[in-house]
Amino acid sequence: MKKRKVMLMASALLLAVTMGMAGCGQKKADAEETQKEEVKTTEEPEEEESTAVSGAAVEPEAAVPANQNLLTGIGDLSQEAIGKRPVAVMVNNVQKAMPQYGVGQADIIFEIPVEGDATRFMALYGDYTKVPQICPIRSCRYYFPALSQGFDAYYVNWGIDDTMGDYLAALNMDQIEGITNTGGLFGRDQEKLNQGYALEHTGYFDGTRLVSYIESQGLRTDLLEDKKGAAFPFNGMEEQLKPEGSDCTSVQINFGAQSSAFTYDQEKKVYLKQINGQPQVDGKTGEQLSFTNVFVLETDISVRDDIGHKEIDWDGAADSVGYYVSNGGVQKIHWSKEANNENSYLRFYDESGQEISINRGKSYIALNYRDQTTFQ
């Protein structure tokens, strides 16, 4: 009897110990689960914080405005000019014609040699509703419309090279001509005449009357479908990139009978133009001509007749050398249009053959003899 009582007591003790251990095990498991929940709770805010930091580093790129000027990439077109054609105007650029006026508002200026290695401007305006009065207007040489056609531009000039009449007619361009005083848009600047300027340096084009003339003649205003994009690949709206190459704060271009030079304005990030060692200014505003981008395109130039008219390779090739200057730097490039296709775009490539993007802003483009430019 005593033995059985002892066994019962032992069994009860064993049961108590077992239950106690089970209870401890449950408490331990509960504690571990609680600890896991606490760890999980403390980890979640860290994940959210990490996501917030990562998101803050990514800023949306500024959208291209609907009124982007296709020549400059800047949003400054009037509502009426969106999707409409630009205007190309021939401008006298010899020293005796200085100062010009109306050129300071141009979005692109081409400078190319003519007879005697003087140069002539072709000034392009992206907004046909904002073309100013421009003086002095000069005559056409065939390589200028060969370039303007790539922008689908109206072409304004006073006189032509008579030997190229058939070529110009074949281009089927919308030409606004000063000799016949098309639309009454041309005249002589009386003030310049009174000051003793030669007659050929006094012709002006009244761009403020262009819209009404275009409407009266029923000329096409909408850009061709393949010209409705930007004229060049532009960098981002907020980007101002330095070309891949050397530093460049000064450019000197020798055309032969005259020269052009550019000095970099670090604060405004533009290149200020000089002609024959003097600042080239707009006669109406008094402001020096300035450009975000400067291109020097080397090409073959020769004399083709006794008058001295030039033969110029205007379409370049994959190996045609050029230089792109902007934001304090210069990059060696190649340039071309499609062979014998005046309607094609002018394109710029790096030395590996990849098309380059350029900074948004006004551009100066020179076509000139080879090895006549220095960059410092």
- Domains belonging to the chain, first-starting first, are 79-375 (3.50.90.10)
Cα separation, 354 vs 17, in Å, equals 83
365's CB contacts (< 8 A; 6+ apart) are: 108, 109, 110, 111, 295, 297, 346
Q: Determine the residue type at 265.
A: D
Calpha distance 152→155 (Å, rounded) = 9
Reading the chain (376 residues) residue by residue, the pLDDT tens digits are 433 433 333 343 333 334 444 444 444 444 444 444 444 444 444 444 433 344 445 556 789 999 999 999 999 999 999 999 999 999 999 999 999 999 999 999 999 999 999 999 999 999 999 999 999 999 999 999 999 999 999 999 999 888 888 898 899 999 999 998 888 999 999 999 999 999 999 999 999 999 999 999 999 999 999 999 999 999 999 999 999 999 999 999 999 999 999 999 999 999 999 999 999 999 999 999 999 999 999 999 999 999 999 999 999 987 899 999 999 999 999 999 999 999 999 999 999 999 999 999 999 999 999 999 999 9
Tokens 């410092």, residue?
A: 376
Q: Of all helices (H) and strands (E), which one includes residue 29? A: helix 2-56
Is residue 158 packed enough to be buried (19+ CB in 10 Å), middle (13-18) or exposed (0-12)? buried
Q: For residue 217, give the amino acid letter.
A: Q
Cα–Cα dist 20/27, whole Å: 10
Two tokens, residue 330: 């210069």
Give CA–CA dist 334/12, Å, rounded. 99
The alpha helices in 59-209, defined as continuous H runs, are: 143-148, 165-171, 190-194
